[in-house]
Amino acid sequence: MKGSKARSVLPGFGLSLGFTVFYLCILVLIPLAGIVVKTTGLTWDQFWQTVTSQRVLASYKISFFTSFFAALINLVFGLIVAWVLVRYKFPGKKLVDALVDLPFALPTAVAGVALTAIYAPNGWVGSLLEPLGVKVAFTPLGITIALIFIGLPFVVRTVQPVLQDLEKETEEAAVMLGAYRWRTFRRVILPELIPPLLTGFALAFARGLGEYGSVVFISGNMPMKTEITPLLIMTKLEQYDYSGATAIALMMLLASFAMLLLINYIQWRSNRRAVTE
Amino acid sequence: MAGAVTSHLSHEAAKRPKHITESPIVKWVLISIALLFLALVVLLPLISVFIEAFKQGMSVYWASITDPDAVSALKLTLMTALIAVPLNTIFGIAAAWAITKFSFRGKNLLITLIDLPFSISPVISGLIFVLLFGAQGWFGPWLDDHNIQILFALPGIVLATTFVTFPFVARELIPLMQAQGVHEEEAAASLGAKGWQIFWRVTLPNIKWGLLYGIILCNARAMGEFGAVSVVSGHIRGETNTLPLHVEILYNEYQFSASFAVASLLVFLAVITLIVKSIVEWRTSIVQAGKEGEQADAH
Amino acid sequence: MSNMAKTKKFSLRSIMILSVFALALAGCGGGNGNNSGNTSGNSTTTTDNASNTSGSNATEPKPAVELLNVSYDPTRELYEAYNKLFIDYWKTEQNQDVTIKQSHGGSGKQSRAVIDGLKADVVTLALGYDIDAIAEKGLIGTDWQQKFDNNSSPYTSTIVFLVRKGNPKGIKDWNDLIKDDVEVITPNPKTSGGARWNYLAAWGYALKQNNGDEAKAQEFVAELFKHVPVLDSGARGSTTTFVERGLGDVLLAWENEAYLSVNELGKDKFEIVYPSISILAEPPVAVVDKVADDKGTREVAEAYLDFLYTEEAQKIIAENYYRPQLASVAEQFKDRFPTLELLTIDKDFGGWKEAQTKHFADGGIFDKIYVPGS
């Protein structure tokens, strides 16, 4: 198979790329440049002090770990959900399929309030867990749950189309060669799913790092314990400290960007390999 | 016809031979796990929203969604989505076309930049427009001199929403079009088809599901966005409050039932788009069946 | 086959129409923005209407005017009632129609919106600090606090305790809050204006108990915040945590908020406790000079705030559980507002600027409470 070279017979390269870059610049790059420029209002020392102060460091840790675990859980369960939705038929499947998109549609603040109500010590689930000594709301566990809610559709919706497109032939060939189901899954299906799973994981993780609306309700916002990085940005804004706020924002931006870049690179390589093979 | 395989896969799944699927036990265990997980994480919050919404009865529910402030918030939300979603759709198609049909340097960087708004904290998404268009921002003084209001008015809300929902359509289309490759388009081009013809006749039919899906997600997120819009709205009652902001205000006024009632309105809006999707899907499946019949005749 | 071609064409056309529509709408969006910014244009049209009808009227009505009052969260009911009163007053007095738009949100956030270009004619916020921030940007004269009576605060409030019915933990004063089994709910002073009053009241109490020993006072507030299990970002969030989630034994709240919670959320579930000493919270008001002058609304904006000091308005204020400034109205509602020793921000804390830098700014005393090893 050949990839399209720079001289393609297809038209519209200039127009589509030009428009893409133009729109991207106007809507994303120029506004984001505002953050970088605002941050340059600080000296290097001030910048460094802002982004490495004890509270801020603690918040990175909390944001990072809760987002990471939430994304990990979404990775596993998201795959199962996607698999079930693509491969099996069962009553109410359409409804379940629609349910997956709910976290996109529900305003994050509503999600936060609803989740807090459920997982608070006097809530439906919280009151069941309380006697077991498990506290959910107002602990890092609560933050993780909110982030699982927020990130779920990212994993399911990236895995689903690929799973749907997976060539049945390869799978069937493997079965005909006598491979057991589990081995087929591990050797044939899973490798194909790794790129979308990674993308889904990265998107859910990156989204989790930045999430604010739903988390503030359930986290309890205790400094050093359950204070997330976006909350610190809000705190800075509340003191009219725009430069400080953008400094932390810049750190978050760089972290997300680096991760997305890495994941996209991995995905693109694995796709190219698949095409050239 | 990779596209065709995708679109009628549901029929395919039913026809698959038994020996390549899992045992029924595994199947039902997986289904149960998936359903339990969704119930705990997604369904439960949804149910609690509706229970709260109807707690004080139908009349309170009705009164809160027909309140003039709620109605104007609904109008503003729909208006915003109506502008932001088509803009991002056009962008998504253009971006996916450029990225998947051609090869050029810096492609990974471009894809990553397109993804970026997903991962930016809503707090920051609002802040960047304040830094640009705020009275203390770059363009603030100029805008003020020319009496143009961007922040705390419709344009600001649309900008923030467009930013937040920026990647949805593109993100949905890129992997799909990448998997489909360029062969069909190249074949059409060699037969003398012109640019737009290729797109309308060859590409669009192949990507329509992905496209529709992207639009629906983009729309859902556009209507539900809270954080970024909250920064640029100014919260003027009956004027610049979107539905999610109205929900927050009601909640802060201890009108819990009213607040959840308005939130449920957003759920309904999302459901309506999904119903539209199902109708389109159903209509095309009839057409598809007809087409398959014709193809069978031709063979 | 022809059937399919038709559907394709249909979807093609509809998408095209949709995109054209979108672009047109985007254009309109810009236009709308123009209009809302350009209120003087709007009022000219009203002038034409007015002069047409003026023939039949003896006194010529002035063109209608619109005010935007940017306020903080708990004042909604207050200004809803007050706006009606003022609109009637202005109509009879000046024969001019006024529409008043309201915007509510966290005090700091609202102040930022005004700084960033929200066209507020008047601001009615929770703390002087937030209006100072606007004044610093030149939108309001720095002498704003002298423009209206009582430090430009037409009403005051104080910080009280809301406890569960029957006061099971026996909470009577600030030192009861640091008893072993007591949990205290208060919002985060870094993000909530109301919480700063809570913190300062506690600090003032401790200072008084320890004869002005600041180290002891810091110990006390540090101990107090060890009893806080959840720091919500806003006052309303804390109330929800206390009332709906059932967390904590005592909620530190504004007096008016405490009354509102009791009335709205259950008279049989909570009661209000007045500590021996608290702080005089003075939510200030100001005309945003730059906006009012640009829009030509100064006269009505000033009248709007001035009228807050009249007897009728002060009654509405007292009915909404804010403490009125007018002695006659205060006398009338004295059962509602018990007298207690109140510290003031200017006398006891050297004004907001000083309090802010010392206690709440990054690296201030409040931060030290939470950073281990300091």
Domains of chain A are: 48-276 (1.10.3720.10)
Query: What are the tens digits of pLDDT across the range C18-31?
Result: 444 444 444 343 33
Whether residue C170 is found in the same domain as residue C271: yes
Partners of C123 in the beta sheet? C70, C286
Size of interface A-C (CB pairs under 8 A): 69
Residue C49 lies in a domain: no
Residue C15 lies in a domain: no
Per DSSP (E only), the strands in B100-192 are: none
What local confidence, expressed as pLDDT, does residue C225 receive? 94
Whether residue C234 is found in the same domain as residue C351: yes
Q: Which long-range contacts (CB under 8 A, 24 or more apart) does C204-211 make?
A: C204/C277, C204/C279, C204/C343, C204/C348, C204/C349, C205/C173, C205/C174, C205/C175, C205/C275, C205/C276, C205/C277, C206/C174, C208/C277, C209/C175
CA distances from B214 to A125, A126, B84, B179, B219 (A): 34, 36, 13, 17, 8
> Whole-angstrom Cα distance, residue C226 to residue C19?
57
H or E element that contains C96: strand C96-105
Evaluate whether C301 touches C140 at the Cβ level (below 8 Å): no
Residue C213 lies in a domain: yes
Whether residue C224 is found in the same domain as residue C270: yes
Whether B116 contacts chain A with CB within 8 A = yes
Residue C251 lies in a domain: yes
Give A231 to chain C, closest Cα distance, Å: 9
H or E element that contains C254: strand C250-254
Whether B82 contacts chain A with CB within 8 A = no
What local confidence, expressed as pLDDT, does residue C26 receive? 42
Count CB neighbours of A190 within 10 A: 12
Whether residue C133 is found in the same domain as residue C168: no
Binary contact (A120, C245; C-beta < 8 A): yes
* CATH number of the structural domain B57-298: 1.10.3720.10
Binary contact (B236, C103; C-beta < 8 A): yes
Q: What would the two tokens of residue C204 be?
A: 């003032």
> Whole-angstrom Cα distance, residue B231 to residue C109?
8
> Which of A228-237, B245-254, C39-48, C280-289 tops mean pLDDT?
C280-289
Query: What are the tens digits of pLDDT across the range B6-25?
Result: 334 444 444 455 445 667 88
> Whole-angstrom Cα distance, residue C93 to residue C111?
31
DSSP label at residue A228 = -
Over chain C, what is the mean pLDDT? 84
What local confidence, expressed as pLDDT, does residue C21 receive? 44
Binary contact (A252, B121; C-beta < 8 A): yes
Whether residue C277 is found in the same domain as residue C289: no
Mean of pLDDT values over C143-163: 94
What local confidence, expressed as pLDDT, does residue C42 receive? 37
Whether residue C129 is found in the same domain as residue C244: no
> Whole-angstrom Cα distance, residue A231 to residue C233?
9
Query: What are the tens digits of pLDDT across the range C309-328?
Result: 999 999 999 999 999 999 99
- Helix H segments across C307-350? 311-319, 327-332, 345-349
Quote the number of domains for chain C.
2
CA angle A12, A17, A21 (to 5 degrees): 155
Distance between start and end Cα atoms, chain C: 79
pLDDT band with cut points at 50, 70 and 90 for residue C105? confident
Binary contact (C245, A122; C-beta < 8 A): yes
Whether A217 contacts chain B with CB within 8 A = no
Domain boundaries, chain B: 10-54, 57-298
Residue C34 lies in a domain: no
Whether residue C228 is found in the same domain as residue C249: yes
pLDDT band with cut points at 50, 70 and 90 for residue B94? very high
Q: Give C261's contacts in chain B (Cβ within 8 Å).
A: 254
- C41 has a pLDDT exceeding 80: no
Q: Which long-range contacts (CB under 8 A, 24 or more apart) does B105-108 make?
A: B107/A268, B108/A261, B108/A264, B108/A265, B108/A268
Stretches where chain A sits below pLDDT 50 are 1-6, 277
Query: What are the tens digits of pLDDT across the range C230-239?
Result: 888 888 888 8
| Structural domain of C349 | 157-281+338-369
Partners of C270 in the beta sheet? C164
What local confidence, expressed as pLDDT, does residue A189 receive? 78
Q: Give A53's contacts in chain C (Cβ within 8 Å).
A: 362
Binary contact (C7, B287; C-beta < 8 A): yes
> Whole-angstrom Cα distance, residue C374 to residue B86?
55
Whether residue C145 is found in the same domain as residue C212: no
Give B124 to chain A, closest Cα distance, Å: 7
H/E/C letters for each residue in A92-157? CHHHHHHHHCHHHHCCHHHHHHHHHHHHCCCCCCHHHHHHHCCCCCCCHHHHHHHHHHHHHHHHHH
DSSP label at residue B19 = G
Count CB neighbours of C212 within 10 A: 9
What local confidence, expressed as pLDDT, does residue B88 receive? 96
Query: What are the tens digits of pLDDT across the range B264-294?
Result: 888 888 778 777 777 776 777 777 666 666 6
pLDDT band with cut points at 50, 70 and 90 for residue B61? very high
Output A55 or C164, whichever has higher pLDDT: C164
Whether C2 contacts chain B with CB within 8 A = no
> Whole-angstrom Cα distance, residue C304 to residue A277?
76
Residues 6+ apart with CB under 8 A from C250: C161, C162, C163, C169, C171, C177, C182, C183, C184, C185, C273
Evaluate whether C282 touches C158 at the Cβ level (below 8 Å): no
Whether A74 contacts chain C with CB within 8 A = no
| 3-state DSSP assignment of residue B286 | helix
Q: Establish how many alpha carbons lie within 13 A of residue A244's alpha carbon, considering only the half-sphere containing its beta carbon.
A: 20
Whether residue C271 is found in the same domain as residue C299: no
Q: What would the two tokens of residue C60 be?
A: 């010529």
Residue C323 lies in a domain: no
Binary contact (A4, B102; C-beta < 8 A): yes
Query: What are the tens digits of pLDDT across the range B172-227?
Result: 888 778 877 888 888 888 888 888 888 888 888 888 878 887 898 899 889 988 88
Whether residue C242 is found in the same domain as residue C347: yes
Q: Give C109's contacts in chain A (Cβ within 8 Å).
A: 237-238
Evaluate whether B137 touches B84 at the Cβ level (below 8 Å): no
H or E element that contains B101: helix B68-101
Q: What would the two tokens of residue B49 be?
A: 């929203």
Count CB neighbours of C66 within 10 A: 16
Evaluate whether B227 touches B125 at the Cβ level (below 8 Å): yes
Whether residue C207 is found in the same domain as residue C349: yes
Q: What would the two tokens of residue C22 be?
A: 């979108």
Q: Which of A123, A223, A238 sits opposite C108 (nearest CB)?
A: A238
What local confidence, expressed as pLDDT, does residue B294 receive? 60
Whether A175 contacts chain B with CB within 8 A = yes
CATH code, C357 = 3.40.190.10
Binary contact (B151, C118; C-beta < 8 A): yes
Q: Give B12's contacts in chain A (Cβ within 8 Å).
A: 168
pLDDT band with cut points at 50, 70 and 90 for residue C9? very low
Q: What is the ipTM of this complex?
A: 0.83
Residue of B114, B209, B80, B123 lying closest to A157 (CA atoms): B209
> Which of B123-132, B277-286, C31-40 tops mean pLDDT?
B123-132
Evaluate whether C226 touches C278 at the Cβ level (below 8 Å): no
Q: Give A234's contacts in chain C (Cβ within 8 Å).
A: 191, 233
Evaluate whether A86 touches A163 at the Cβ level (below 8 Å): yes
Whether C237 contacts chain A with CB within 8 A = yes
Whether C234 contacts chain B with CB within 8 A = yes
Amino acid letter for position B15: K
Q: What would the two tokens of residue A19 be?
A: 């428009």
Q: Which long-range contacts (CB under 8 A, 24 or more apart) does C342-346 make?
A: C342/C158, C342/C277, C342/C278, C342/C279, C342/C280, C343/C200, C343/C201, C343/C204, C343/C277, C343/C278, C343/C279, C343/C280, C344/C279, C344/C280, C344/C282, C345/C128, C345/C200, C345/C279, C345/C280, C345/C282, C346/C151
- B256-298 and B204-224 helices cross at what angle (nearest 10)? 180
Binary contact (B31, A117; C-beta < 8 A): no
Residue of C nearest to B201 (CA): C8
Evaluate whether C130 touches C282 at the Cβ level (below 8 Å): no
- A54-87 and A93-100 helices cross at what angle (nearest 10)? 160
Binary contact (C34, B140; C-beta < 8 A): no
Q: Is the four-CA dihedral C360, C364, C369, C370 of positive or negative sign?
A: positive
> Whole-angstrom Cα distance, residue B247 to residue B174?
35
Evaluate whether A225 touches A171 at the Cβ level (below 8 Å): no
> Whole-angstrom Cα distance, residue C72 to residue C256?
13
Mean of pLDDT values over C99-104: 93
Strands C122-124 and C62-72: what pairing? parallel
Q: Which of A11, A23, A105 sits opposite B224 (nearest CB)?
A: A105
Whether residue C125 is found in the same domain as residue C164: no
What local confidence, expressed as pLDDT, does residue A177 receive? 60
Binary contact (A122, C246; C-beta < 8 A): yes
**Look-up of token digits 């409050």:** B241
Output A73 or B230, whichever has higher pLDDT: A73
Give A74 to chain C, closest Cα distance, Å: 27
Residue of C nearest to A240 (CA): C112
> Which of A3-7, A41-45, C12-16, C68-72 tops mean pLDDT?
C68-72
- C347 has a pLDDT exceeding 60: yes
> Whole-angstrom Cα distance, residue B158 to residue C333?
48
Residue of C41, B114, B118, B271 lying closest to A157 (CA atoms): B118
Count CB neighbours of B261 within 10 A: 27
pTM of the model: 0.83
Strands C277-281 and C323-324: what pairing? unpaired
Residue C79 lies in a domain: yes
